[in-house]
Amino acid sequence: MDEKAVDSIIRAALAEDLPAGDITTDTLIASELQVRAVIISKEEGVLAGLDIARRVFQLLDPSIVFEKQKEDGQRFRREEILARLSGPAVAILKGERTALNFLQRLCGIATMTSRFAAAAGPKTKILDTRKTTPNLRLLEKYAVRMGGGYNHRLNLSEAVLIKDNHLRLFSSIREAVEKAKALLPPLTEIEVEVTSVGEAKEALEAGASRLLLDNMPLRRMRRVLALVAGRIPVEVSGRINLRRVQKISCLGVDYISVGRLTHSYRSIDISLELVED
C-alpha cells in the first residue's frame, strides 16, 4: 500500500479522536510512565491491519516498541496474542481505540473473504467491489487480499466497466463497446454488464473482453457460459452469499464479485490490555 496515503488516513482518524488531546489520559497519567501491553483476539479470524495498528502508535510516539506475533493473512485463534507493545502509557492509551478500530474492521473483512474464497474453490476468484467505506477503500481492499480474495478496479479511473446505466444512454451494447474501443488505447480491457443471453451474445460479437453477469439465474448463466466457451473471462455478481457462491463456482465462472465483503462484514472482537512486567 502507498505509505503516504495510509499515513494520511491514520492521521485523519487520530485527529478525529484527539482534536484537543485526550482529556482523561492527559489529566490522570504521568507523561514519564512506561507500560507494557498486548493486543489479543477474543475470537478466531484472519489477520489484516496489524501494520496499520503499529503505524497508529508510531505516529503518536516513535519510541513505542511494537512486536508482531502474527503476520497479516494468517489465521488466529481465540485468546491469541497478536502483538506486544511497550512504551509511554500516554501514547498507548491515546492510540488504543484508533488502532483497534482499524484492526477489528480489517480482520472482519479478511475473515469474511476467507470464507467466500473457501466456498468458491481454487478455480474461481473472489473479487471485491467499490462498495467500500468512503476514504477507507485502500485499507479495505488490502484486507480482501489478506483473506484470499482479489481486487476488482480500485477506482473509476482504473478500468472500463460498461454498466446498465451507461447502456441506457446508448441505442445498443454494440454502439457503446465500439465507441469505447475507438477512443481508448488498444488492448484496453472492456467489461460489459449483461443480464440476458442475447446481451451476452451482442457484447461478445462487439468485442468485449470480459462479461459481467449481474443478478442472473443459474440456468441462464449456463447458457451464457456455453456461448462464451472460454473465449473471454466471465464474472458474476448480484445477491451473492456462501451457498450461491458454491453453486456458481461449479459452473466454471472465472470471477465472482461480492459487495458484502466490504459493506456487510462483522468486525472481529480484539482488545488491547495492559500487562504487568
Residue 222 a catalytic site member: no
Point out the catalytic residue in the list 68, 70, 97, 222.
97
Point out the catalytic residue in the list 84, 131, 181, 244.
131
Q: List alpha helices for the chain, DSSP H.
A: 3-17, 23-28, 50-60, 89-120, 137-146, 164-167, 173-183, 197-206, 218-228, 242-249, 260-263
Point out the catalytic residue in the list 43, 178, 214, 269.
214
Residue 193 a catalytic site member: yes
Residue 220 a catalytic site member: no
Residue 97 a catalytic site member: yes
SS3 content of the chain, % helix, strand, coil (to 5): 45, 20, 35
Residue 242: phi and psi, rounded to 5, are: -60, -40
Residue 3 a catalytic site member: no
SS3 for 122? coil
Q: Which residues neighbour 231 within 8 Å (Cβ) at sequence distance 6 or greater?
A: 204
106, 143 contact by CB (below 8 A) = yes
Point out the catalytic residue in the list 96, 140, 193, 199.
193
Provide the annotated active-site residues: 97, 131, 163, 193, 214
